[in-house]
Amino acid sequence: MRIIDCGMRKVIFKDLGKGQDYQKVWDLQENYLSEIIEIKVRNRAKEKNGETDFEQTPNYFLLLEHPHIYTLGKSGHMENMLASQDFLNQINATFIKTNRGGDITYHGPEQLIGYPILDLENFKPDIHLYMRNLEEVIIQTIADFGLKGERSKGETGVWLDVGRPYARKICAMGVKASRWVTIHGFALNVNPDLKYFEYIIPCGIQGKAVTSMERELNRKVSMEDVKERVKIHFEAVFETEYIESLNVI
């Protein structure tokens, strides 16, 4: 497939804010995915017909916060959910199975969620590189606050003190790609209530702790400041340029 050269890659950025329903945002991502794939299918048909007026596929980057919810990836195991439905009701949390990769994780207030819906054929069609780039965005972001994020071999996400007995995860990641178009993304623990992680085996990994920027820095961290740093580093790592959009779905 011929990739359209339109100079600097463009990404439509949307800050959806707090309290965004998980299913509603998942549906939004699926709608964007379908939109992009439909354009790619039309472009391939044009290419076969010898046409050259290809359409540019859009890219999106969403930042938001969810209410308390546990999500299980398609390769996850239910035994990593330690709480009953009755208990979830008591702590005002819900549970949903998703089509992303990875096992079980928690999303909630004061945790920054990032969902890039990218056509990797506009960047580089390499899922491994894409995941490493997402990790790099977070590593650079938390470095701005004095934290040294690291990768842990075989364990996607961003960690602190890798290789030590007290290694702990600060950012979980899980994605799905279809025809090189990505959905889902990352969850960076800024100031979440970490007790919610006690009711699962996070990411299905035994014996490793979860932490937050608040815990590591011993202070509340401005979500707006973290968002701004994530935006800056995402733009630099992915060599893109934002098109700002309304903060609505």
So which residues are the catalytic ones?
203
φ, ψ (nearest 5 deg) of residue 209: -85, 165
How far from 56 is each of 52, 61, 123, CA to CA, in Å?
Answer: 12, 17, 13
The sign of the CA dihedral 193, 198, 202, 208 is positive
